[in-house]
């Protein structure tokens, strides 16, 4: 009997959660979350974690399982989620992967190349060099360490250049040699269901959801995390804009405006990424029965 992973993806605010409960109950299965921010237990309101009732009705994994202080990345997620999925496949033929974090989804569906974990000291040293000597000096390093990747990389993107240098130094060989781009074999079949709405409707939903988050106490939630704002986990839409307000950079109205705008832009970036993937079947989240039918057809 074939095992299936049904991947439910789409931009933020499109309505993945409601549909995921419907599908999970229909297939009598669990949900593995592929959301890089809902995984942190201190960030519930701002990341629109499914409401308590849903979490009780359907077993969810990778929601609220980490602290914002924990270091995490998509490679770790790949290891842990793949393990979890195969364990769940013992008792269920269908498992749901639900979330909008593009690279987390990719890590499960395609796999990520094996490269060494970067030493914290090395990361800090390079970061310091970047800040003191500028991007150009990091670029020169990369040119020397890995001319092949240097020719491919977006040289204006500091993070990319920096990371490539880190990997070269850590691995002792060029990053480009480690980038196989090989698709990993999985022992389950993948069915990708993409959710989208017309742009105006999607943006309305995003805007409204931000207002609801504020009513639900997002400001208080962010206040508690203010001291930790330097953490990567808190470099997140909904929190960083409030930190800016707490630090006196602008008023609350402006903070809310920025949260809405940045959420919309995030949704746009997600769509850009997903649109490349020709395996995705696209639907409006309201068409539940149609979606179910399409999934079942794929399982024939």
Q: Report the site for RNA in 194-253 (rule: CB under 7 A).
A: 199, 203, 232-233, 235-238, 240
For the chain, the first-to-last Cα distance in angstroms comes to: 11
The closest of 288, 269, 289, 291 to 280, measured between CA atoms, is 291
Q: Contact with RNA (CB under 7 A): which of 90, 159, 224, 278?
A: 159
Alpha carbon 244 to chain centroid, angstroms = 23
Residue in this structure with the two tokens 């990778």, named with its chain if needed? 62
Please tell me the distance from the alpha carbon of residue 273 to that of residue 268, in angstroms, as a whole number. Answer: 9
Among 226, 265, 293, 296, binds RNA (CB under 7 A): 265
276 binds RNA (CB under 7 A): yes
Q: How far is the CB of 179 from RNA (least distance, A)?
A: 6
Nearest approach, Cβ of residue 99 and RNA (Å): 8
Supply the minimum distance, in Å, between the C-beta of residue 92 and RNA: 25
Cα 146 to Cα 68: distance, rounded to the nearest angstrom: 33
Site for RNA in 19-48 (CB under 7 A): 35-38, 46-48
Q: Are 155 and 161 in contact (CB under 8 A)?
A: yes
The answer to whether 52 contacts RNA (rule: CB under 7 A) is no
Chain length of the chain = 300
**Range 113-152, binding RNA (CB under 7 A):** 113-118, 123, 127
In this structure, are residues 174 and 150 in contact, taking their beta carbons and an 8 Å threshold? Answer: no
Contact assessment for residue 54 and residue 247, using Cβ atoms and an 8 Å cutoff: no
Q: How far apart are CA 249 and CA 247, in angstroms?
A: 6
User: Would you count residue 54 as binding RNA (CB under 7 A)?
Assistant: no
Which range touches RNA (CB under 7 A), out of 20-28, 59-67, 82-90, 106-114?
106-114
Interacting residue ranges for RNA, rule: CB under 7 A: 12, 35-38, 46-48, 72-76, 100-104, 106, 110-118, 123, 127, 154, 156-160, 162-163, 167, 179-182, 199, 203, 232-233, 235-238, 240, 257-258, 261-266, 268-273, 275-276
């Amino acid at each position: 009997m074939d095992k299936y992973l049904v991947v439910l993806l789409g931009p933020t605010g499109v309505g993945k959660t409601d549909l995921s409960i419907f599908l999970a109950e229909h297939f009598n299965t669990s949900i593995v979350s592929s959301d890089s921010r809902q995984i942190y237990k201190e960030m519930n309101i701002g990341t629109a974690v499914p409401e308590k009732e849903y979490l009780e009705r359907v077993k969810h994994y990778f929601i609220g399982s980490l602290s914002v202080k924990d270091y995490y990345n998509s490679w770790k997620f790949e290891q842990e989620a793949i393990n979890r999925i195969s364990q769940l496949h013992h008792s269920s033929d269908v498992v749901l992967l639900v979330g909008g974090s593009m690279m987390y989804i990719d890590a499960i569906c395609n796999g990520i190349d094996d490269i060494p974990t970067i030493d914290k000291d090395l990361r800090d040293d390079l970061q310091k060099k970047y800040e003191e000597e500028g991007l150009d000096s990091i670029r020169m390093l990369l040119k020397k360490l890995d001319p092949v990747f240097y020719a491919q990389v977006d040289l204006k993107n500091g993070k990319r250049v920096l990371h490539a240098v880190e990997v070269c130094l850590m691995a002792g060989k060029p990053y480009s040699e480690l980038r196989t781009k090989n698709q990993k074999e999985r022992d389950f079949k993948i069915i990708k269901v993409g959710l989208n709405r017309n742009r105006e409707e999607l943006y309305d939903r995003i805007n409204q959801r931000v207002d609801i988050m504020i009513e639900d106490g997002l400001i208080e939630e962010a206040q508690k995390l203010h001291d930790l704002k330097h953490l990567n986990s808190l470099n997140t839409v909904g929190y960083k804009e409030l930190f800016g307000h707490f630090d006196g950079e602008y008023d609350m109205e402006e903070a809310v405006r920025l949260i809405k705008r940045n959420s919309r832009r995030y949704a746009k970036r997600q769509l850009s990424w997903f649109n490349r993937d020709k395996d995705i079947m696209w639907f409006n989240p309201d068409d539940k029965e149609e979606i179910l039918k399409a999934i079942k057809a794929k399982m024939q």
